[in-house]
Structure 1
Amino acid sequence: MRHVKDVTFHLLTHEDAVELLQFERAERAWFEQHIEARPECFYTLQGVAKHIIDCLALNAQRKMHPLIIRQRGVIVGRANLRNIADDHAWVGYRIAQGAGGRGVAQSALKHLLTEARCVYGVTQLEAVVAVDNAASQRVLAKGGFTAQKRLPGYSRVSGAPRDCWIFEYSPALSHGLAANNTLY
């Protein structure tokens, strides 16, 4: 993993609303090239505030762990554990275009794996990634995830169906990788 300087992770808060809205608007075109578009109503202060309320409500129920990623104090991404139940959760992250290729996503995944295990007792993780998103696939593979199932037409990006992979992580699938990557 590349050395990532000055990257911090913190739980999403109501105080993040204005800066998060600015981040999401600035990165919208970039994100929408790779993942399904958020609804138009999200891109307002009220929309982001509702999103934060919803995420924090799920966090209070221990069903979601929504994080903001900052580098040198500026939001450069989001990382989440979601649908947390029993020993299972879904992993997701979105990194600003300008922060790509610098190890931020790998650092976020490492952080999520640690939080999953230490805070929630989760060891079975899954992530969905588009078949043409080689960068995210590399991040997941380096983190001990393996592609398990192809999902034809799973999402819609720019109005077109997009095939995706489900990547899975578990101690059994990743035996030996965790020690080499110091992730888990």
Structure 2
Amino acid sequence: MVSPPAVPTQPRFALLKPEDAAELLAFEVAERAWFERYVEARDPRFYCPQGAVKHIIECLSLHAQNRMLPLLIRCREGRLIGRANLKQIDQTRGTAQVGYRLARNACGRGIAQKALRHLLKEARCTYGLHLLSAYASVENPASQRVLEKAGFKARQKLPGHSLVAGQRLDCWAYQCKLG
């Protein structure tokens, strides 16, 4: 079996664009089983060319309203290795939610930490936010560590918050105050 190419640890972040649809769909299909082990599954209608285009249009519409920052994470060579998003941005309240997902072969290399730091900087500098939230399954200690290293604090355990692989999972609700 051939191993996937190594992923460098210096990711590049780029705003999601309509022309990313085919690559995004291929990435999400290839990583679907991996993602669905840890996060809620996407609507099955996402997994076709029209579904990916619709998803991008929705994300960019929210971005145009300053309610979302949808980013792609690429390795130095340009290959798509993940997503990082600020969503539910509310500049009036100064809040947003963070989320990210990485290809399986990109995990354990500090990329999630760099993505989260990038989102924190964007939240503070671009959107003027002061409080971010995130959620991590109690079954996902790797995401919990990434959040905690970035300054997020677990605030509340939410019983049955997420449906992952057909099971209701408890999650931690995290918050991070930006200075």
With the shorter chain as reference, the TM-score category is over 0.9
Is 1:14–2:21 an aligned residue pair? no
Q: 1:74-125, CA deviations, whole angstroms, 9 ceiling, x for partnerless residues?
A: 1100000000002100000001110000011000000000000010001200
Counterpart CA distance in 1 for 2:125 and 2:102 is: 24
Aligned with 2:150 (options 137, 143, 147) = 143
In the alignment, residue 46 of structure 2 is paired with which amino acid?
F
- Matching of residue 78 in structure 1 with residue 83 in structure 2: yes
Structure 1 stretches of 4+ with a deviation exceeding 2 A read: none
Contact 2:10 2:111 in 1 (8 A): no
Identity of aligned residues (%): 54
Report matched runs for 1:35-114 at 5 Å. 35-71=39-75, 72-85=77-90, 86=92, 87-114=94-121
The RMSD of aligned alpha carbons is 1.0
Within-5 A mapping of 1:159-170? 159-170=166-177
SS at 1:51 equivalent:
helix
Matched, 1:122 2:129: yes
**CA distances 1:19-54 after superposition (whole Å, capped 9, x unpaired):** 000000000000000011111110001000000000
The alpha-carbon deviation at position 159 of structure 1 amounts to 1.0
Q: Aligned with 2:126: secondary structure? A: helix
> Structure 1: which 5+ runs fail to align?
172-183
Structure 1: distance between partners of 2:34 and 2:10: 23
Where do 1:22-41 residues align within 5 Å?
Answer: 22-41=26-45
How much has 1:6 moved relative to structure 2? Answer: 3.7
Find the aligned partners of 1:6 and 1:131 in 2 and give their Cα distance.
29
Q: Which residue of 2 aligns with 1:181?
A: none
Paired residue type of 1:75: L
Shift in Å, 1:142: 0.4
Matched pairs, number: 169
8 A contact 2:9–2:110 mirrored in 1: no
**TM-score, normalized by length of structure 1?**
0.90
